[in-house]
Structure 1
Amino acid sequence: MYPVFALLIGASMWGVIWYPMRLLEGGGLGGVWLTLTLYAAAMVVSLPRTVRTIPEFARHPGLLTLLMLAAGWTNIAFVEAVLEGNIVRVLLLFYLSPLWATLMGGLFLRERITRVGFASLAIAMGGALLMLWNPLLDWPWPQGKPDWMALSSGFAFALSNVVVRKLQDISLAAKSLSVWAGVMIVAIAMIALFSIPMPHPAVSIFAAAVVLGVMGILLMTVLVQYGVTHMPVHRSAVIALVELVAGAISQQLLTNEVVTMREWIGGGLIVLGAYLSARASLSK
């Protein structure tokens, strides 16, 4: 039961962390620089425990490098999406990740996909097409940067979960170090590649970001990594859907953002597909 509780708590925290992130952005620290600050703080504080795991990277250098890149993009794209997009819409598109996890779990982990599993993929994809339907194009297509970021973040999240599950002989501390280092590497590369100027927020804003990195990002990463490591990919991906509940409630309480009926229906199909996927995996 401990992995379930860990994942539930971690996912719930992910559902509400968008709010302090937006406050920090309003204070002058946003985007890639915000993500870099949060994860650098988490990694530095964790080093007394995680630095001892560096020799483990020699066991599976390829897979751990893939985990770093996937986790790096997952978190950078997620932060960009929640800073700019409608929270519930972003979370729903992000949680197409069970669909990607089902496909990748079958491909890389040889987890058998049942007929119910295939049905869940069809239902979830139908929901995504409905949510992404663009009236101007008469075609389902992401409607701006937040949609693209949410979709790609969910795909990268599913990939990182599959890799975490495959790395059974790698410690939780080493996996967590991979996530934090991966975010920093991808963030620094983006800053250099796109010449993103350094912000100059007040010291209090920077200090608040450091605290959020330690008390939020570090704790959430450890909880999610622990849960994912000790559960099948399908089950962990679906239990993490509690993030949607936390995100929907916090959005209603803290913003004036509106979710259209079409988005609710499409999101409902995504959640239904994820639920059926979980039942299919648990029945094995």
Structure 2
Amino acid sequence: MQPGFAAAAFASFSSSTVRVSAVVALSAVAWGCWWIPLRHIDGFGLKGDWTSVVVLGIAAVCLMPFILGRLGRLLRAGPMVWGAGLFFGAMFSTYQHGLINGDIVRVTLLFYLAPVWGTLLGLAFLGERFSWLRVAVIVLGFAGVTVILDHTGGVPTPQGPGEWMGLASGMAFAVGATFAHRVTGDYELEKTWLSLASGAGLSTLFALVNPAYSTPTAEQALQALPFVIAVVVVILIPITWAMVWGAQRLDPGRVSLLLMLEVVAASITATLIAGESYGMAKLAGTAMILAAGATEAFSETADGEVS
């Protein structure tokens, strides 16, 4: 390999877009495996949303020493930072509820209607141009979900709270990414902490109003604590930072496209580890939803070239 080629390759990877995209892609693969530690924690007796309360709450506490030094900055951050943090928090809470209680692949695919919601928000609030490509995003996305949800009994709708939460999480992510895209300045830490703290708060509300989840005992919490801390420090905080960091530096459609690597990771792990079936309906729906994300990214690239 010639030195000039190596230098060119390094310079290409060092470019802002490529570097940020690589970080987001790696975080997406980790998110695709996120259901595994969640269900392991659930097995300690921290059932359902109590798993999210403990995981997100400990993560927020871990970041408290850093956020206290920037408290004034947080309070003055403005509505875009707070909006991004709060909606990402809602995404955390609803998505984790779905992964723990629902079909992993179906919940993940419902979340990945995010490019459709991102397209609609971009047209409504970001001044993006209407195009047939954007129509294709919406049609492909909804067609994919229709196939996955199997509407033989009538109108295709999510089945059970887990799948509804998966759908809601995609909407929350699209709104959060739209807010994050309009943030100016370095606010990754503030947005990350806000998303974790608000996610823990919303999960607490879910847990308290759901009679199916009894409050965990102190013994159960103490048994789970070492594993939870390890998961938070090694996995959750890094991939959360990567998502928030990338969402500010890339357009919402590109972020959604890169995060679709999560679908691949979730499908493989859910089939091999959880034993979930992956038939033709899921395969066809997956292809349509991934095509919607790819079309959204292409439409934004085309818009950039035109402008």
C-alpha distance in structure 2 between counterparts of 1:172 and 1:64, whole Å: 9
Q: Hey, what does 1:67 align to over in structure 2?
A: 84
Residue in 2 aligned with 1:188?
204
Which of structure 1's runs of 4+ aligned residues deviate more than 4 A? 191-196
Q: Provide, for residues 5-40 of structure 1, a one-character-per-residue CA deviation record: whole Å limited to 9, x for no partner.
A: 110111111100101111111121132221121112
How many residues align structurally?
A: 283
The aligned residue for residue 254 of structure 1 is 273
Q: CA deviation at 1:211?
A: 1.8
Cα pair distance change 1:188/1:255, threshold 3 Å:
closer
**Is the aligned partner of 1:176 residue 2:195?**
no
TM-score of the pair, normalised by structure 2: 0.86
The residue that corresponds to 1:95 in the other structure is 112
What's the TM-score once normalised by structure 1's chain length?
0.92
Cα 1:42–1:22, aligned 2, differ >3 Å: closer, same or farther? Answer: same
- Within 5 Å, give how 1:8-27 maps onto structure 2: 8-27=25-44
Distance 1:63 1:188, change over 3 A: farther
Are 1:237 and 2:253 matched, yes or no? no
RMSD of the TM alignment (CA)?
A: 1.9
1:140 counterpart SS class: coil
Q: For residues 36-73 of structure 1, what are the alpha-carbon distances to aligned partners after superposition, in whole Å with 9 as ceiling and x for unaligned? A: 21112222222232333332334454334433432222
Q: What's the secondary structure of 2:250's corresponding residue?
A: coil
1:7 to 1:112, Cα distance in 2 relative to 1, 3 A: same
After TM superposition, the structure 1 = structure 2 runs for residues 1-284 of structure 1, keeping only pairs within 5 Å, are 1-136=18-153, 138-193=154-209, 197-200=214-217, 201=220, 203-284=222-303
Listed one character per residue, the Cα deviations across residues 67-106 of structure 1 (whole Å, up to 9, x for unaligned) are: 3432222111111111122221111111001110111122
Alignment CA distance shift 1:59-1:111 (3 Å): farther
**Higher RCO (CA < 8 A, seq sep 6+):** 1
Q: Distance in 1 between matches of 2:264 and 2:282?
A: 15
Q: CA deviation at 1:235?
A: 0.7
Structure 2 CA distance for aligned equivalents of residues 159 and 189 of structure 1: 21
Identity among equivalent pairs (%):
24
**How many Å separate the matches in 1 of 2:62 and 2:221?**
22
Measured in 2, the distance between the counterparts of 1:9 and 1:262 equals: 27
Secondary structure of 1:283's counterpart equals helix
Shift of 1:192: 4.8
Is the contact made by 2:30 and 2:262 (CA closer than 8 Å) also made in structure 1? yes
Flag structure 1 segments of 5+ consecutive residues without an equivalent: none
Q: Distance in 2 between matches of 1:192 and 1:269?
A: 37
- Greater shift after overlay, 182-191 or 257-266? 182-191
